[in-house]
């Protein structure tokens, strides 16, 4: 019997279930209602689930490993490669659990939403392997499965990363074709496509923010260098002094000259080790394809995320895709990553839901994806209700424990929702301003440093909402209210991002659009 294979990928720093009390994202809430377990009515013959904690989580970190995790997170922020491990984890789960005829669901929030979109692209490129390169059966739930997942991510998906898609699309397609040929994952009807495509992709406010450039990149490099160099320098001096002291006492060697020689030796060894690490890192970022497009040709480039050129591809073979998007997110670093137009889509049977639906909702990034305290989560309940209804009303839709009927997310005792269009709207820019002010209010902090710190914050930019974008009906309800709680206090809901939208621009007064933008920033 075909089943659902469901992957949930959470937002940055989200590690649902790791602590007794925490702020839960919509992804984790939905995962809890869909997973198999002793307290769940979901039949494992009908659905299996996997939860991927967000990038930057420290699950399992100890006092000994925390410094290493910190350096790894800084490097991942700089290069954008942190996402590849998440993609490989999700892909390995699918390889281990997929059987022909199964339906693959991919659901994510924030960078986790971009993660599942990468997994979707990986599936359309590489499919689900069915054998080893030598023709032997695929050993499931073994290291070999993980190695194949890493190979697909490193050699195929990452080829061309950080560059415009069209620059390396042909090479990546060729690498995918070779992968499918080695692992028996071609479609039964053609060797030009994979044997599997996602049935459903659901995203809560997709952002990428993978890799940084300019001053931020330099700052992270400096931070990594300091974190590594300072402890090593201290340890080197300590070791050199200890050895020099012993040699002075035992053999009469001059202490200072011996210590200096040992320090220079250690510096040389550390420099050599750093050079080898740099070479290994560069090799891991170097992507090569041979014998393409002609026999004997070799093409090489560095694939490195630099905060641009994110993949917006949505395959025509994906069954259904749904995106909930934030109207009121104003952090420039949290720009959304829209899906591109689907080309060459096969005709759909009459009566089936649309393939791609992207809907805008009131609220900032986490008002859409969740993770605020429950008394302040009414806006995120709106998007969670919408996503559940979209995913369950499909033919052979998502299995949600306690759901009364497909497409009806309310009244579920396993996942209680209280969506309200007048819910609290948050603003991380205002929140950051409050945090900086609180942490610089101590009397011993110099006034000049306090002023400088309080001038730092997220760079601001309204999102561009297309004039004909689909906006959820609860936004109309919010517009009609005389006052709602938002980041600048209470007042009418008039977001600057909707000032030019065809359905809403007539609801602004002469100066109201500009005032709305100013109020959002003033909180």
Please write the tens of the pLDDT for every residue from 372-427: 999 999 999 999 999 999 999 999 999 999 988 888 899 888 899 999 999 999 99
Taking residue 337's Cβ as centre, other Cβ atoms within 10 Å add up to: 19
Written as six digits, the tokens of 25 are 């994202």
- Assess whether pLDDT exceeds 90 at residue 465: yes
* CA–CA separation, 155 and 133 (whole Å): 15
Same domain membership, residue 151 and residue 33: yes
Helix (H) or strand (E) holding 361: strand 356-361
Please write the tens of the pLDDT for every residue from 106-144: 999 999 999 999 999 999 999 999 999 999 999 999 999
DSSP 331: B
Written as six digits, the tokens of 482 are 């005389």
Same domain membership, residue 176 and residue 123: yes
The answer to whether 114 touches 108, Cβ cutoff 8 Å, is yes
* CA–CA separation, 9 and 111 (whole Å): 8
Of 286, 319, 341, the one marking the end of a domain is 286
Q: What is the domain-level CATH number for residue 354?
A: 3.40.50
pTM of structure: 0.87
Same domain membership, residue 265 and residue 377: no
The reply to whether 124 falls in a domain is: yes
Same domain membership, residue 279 and residue 315: no
Tell me the residue range of the domain where 245 lies.
214-286
Q: Give the chain's mean pLDDT.
A: 86
Furthest C-alpha separation in the chain: 93
- Assess whether pLDDT exceeds 80 at residue 72: no
> DSSP H helical segments within 130-203, as ranges?
143-151, 165-183
Percentage of residues in the chain having pLDDT higher than 70: 84
H helix count then E strand count, the chain = 14, 13
Question: What are φ and ψ of residue 289, in 5° steps?
Answer: -130, 135
The answer to whether 480 touches 504, Cβ cutoff 8 Å, is no
Same domain membership, residue 274 and residue 228: yes
- pLDDT band for position 217 (50/70/90)? low
Written as six digits, the tokens of 251 are 């053999």
Please write the tens of the pLDDT for every residue from 438-462: 888 777 788 777 777 777 788 888 8
Please write the tens of the pLDDT for every residue from 138-179: 999 999 999 999 999 999 999 998 888 889 999 999 999 999
Same domain membership, residue 31 and residue 10: yes
Written as six digits, the tokens of 227 are 């974190």
Please write the tens of the pLDDT for every residue from 27-53: 999 999 999 999 999 999 999 999 998
How many domains does the structure of the chain reveal? 3
Please provide the size of the chain in residues. Answer: 523
Of 392, 417, 444, the one marking the end of a domain is 392
CA triple 160-81-140, angle to 5 deg: 90
**Pairing mode, strands 190-194 and 186-187:** antiparallel
Same domain membership, residue 257 and residue 201: no
- Assess whether pLDDT exceeds 60 at residue 363: yes
Flag the least confident range among 31-40, 63-72, 286-295, 510-519.
Answer: 510-519
Question: Sheet harboring 4-9: ordered strands across?
Answer: 47-52, 4-9, 103-109, 200-204, 320-326, 356-361, 470-471
**Pairing mode, strands 103-109 and 4-9:** parallel
Please write the tens of the pLDDT for every residue from 264-289: 998 899 889 888 988 887 888 899 99
The β-bridge partners of 301 are 287
Same domain membership, residue 440 and residue 375: no
Which of 185, 156, 186, 182 has its CA nearest to residue 169? 156
Same domain membership, residue 267 and residue 198: no
* CA–CA separation, 211 and 20 (whole Å): 32
């Amino acid at each position: 019997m075909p089943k659902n294979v469901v992957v949930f990928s959470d937002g940055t720093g989200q590690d649902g279930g790791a602590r007794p009390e925490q702020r839960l994202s919509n992804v984790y809430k939905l995962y809890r209602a869909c997973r198999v377990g002793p307290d769940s009515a979901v039949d494992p013959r009908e659905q299996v689930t996997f939860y991927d904690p967000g990038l930057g989580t420290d699950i399992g970190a100890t006092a000994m490993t925390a410094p290493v995790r910190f350096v790894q997170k800084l490097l991942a922020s700089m290069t954008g490669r942190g996402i590849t491990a998440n993609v490989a984890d999700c892909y390995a789960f699918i390889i281990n659990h997929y059987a022909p005829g199964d339906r693959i669901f991919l659901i994510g929030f924030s960078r986790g939403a971009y993660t599942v979109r990468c997994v979707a692209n990986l599936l359309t490129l590489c499919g689900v392997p069915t054998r080893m390169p030598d023709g032997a059966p695929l050993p499931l739930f073994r290291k070999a499965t993980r190695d194949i997942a890493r190979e697909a991510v490193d050699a195929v998906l990452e080829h061309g990363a950080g560059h415009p898609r069209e620059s390396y699309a042909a090479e990546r397609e060729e690498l995918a074709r070779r992968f499918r040929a080695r692992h028996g994952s071609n479609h039964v009807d053609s060797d030009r496509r994979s044997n599997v495509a996602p049935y459903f992709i659901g995203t809560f406010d997709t952002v990428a923010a993978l890799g940084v450039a300019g001053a931020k990149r330099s700052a992270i490099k400096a931070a990594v260098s300091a974190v590594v160099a300072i402890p090593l320098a201290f340890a080197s001096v300590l070791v050199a002094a200890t050895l020099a002291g012993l040699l002075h006492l035992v053999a009469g060697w001059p202490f200072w000259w011996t210590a200096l020689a040992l320090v220079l030796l250690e510096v040389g060894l550390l420099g050599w080790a750093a050079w080898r690490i740099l070479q290994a890192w560069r090799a891991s970022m170097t992507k090569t394809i041979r014998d393409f497009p002609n026999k004997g040709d070799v093409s090489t480039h560095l694939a490195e995320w630099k905060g641009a050129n994110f993949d917006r591809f949505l395959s025509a073979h994906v069954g259904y895709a749904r995106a909930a998007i934030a109207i009121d997110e104003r952090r420039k670093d949290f720009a959304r990553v829209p899906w591109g137009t689907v080309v060459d889509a096969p005709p759909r049977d009459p009566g089936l839901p649309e393939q791609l639906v992207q809907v805008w909702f009131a609220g900032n990034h986490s008002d859409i994806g969740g993770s605020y305290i429950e008394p302040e989560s009414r806006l995120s309940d709106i998007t969670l209700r919408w996503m559940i209804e979209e995913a369950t009303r499909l033919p052979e839709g998502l299995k949600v424990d306690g759901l009364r009927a497909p497409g009806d997310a309310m009244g579920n005792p396993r996942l209680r929702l209280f969506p309200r269009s007048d819910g609290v709207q948050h603003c991380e820019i205002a929140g950051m301003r409050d945090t900086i002010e609180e942490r610089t209010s101590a009397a011993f902090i110099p006034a000049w440093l306090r002023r400088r710190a309080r001038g730092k914050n997220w760079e601001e930019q309204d999102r561009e909402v297309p004039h004909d974008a689909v906006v959820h009906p609860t936004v109309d309800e919010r517009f009609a209210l005389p006052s709602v709680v938002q980041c600048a206090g209470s007042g009418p809901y008039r977001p600057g991002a909707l000032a030019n939208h065809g359905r809403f621009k007539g609801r602004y007064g002469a100066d109201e659009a500009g005032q709305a933008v100013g109020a959002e920033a003033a909180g």
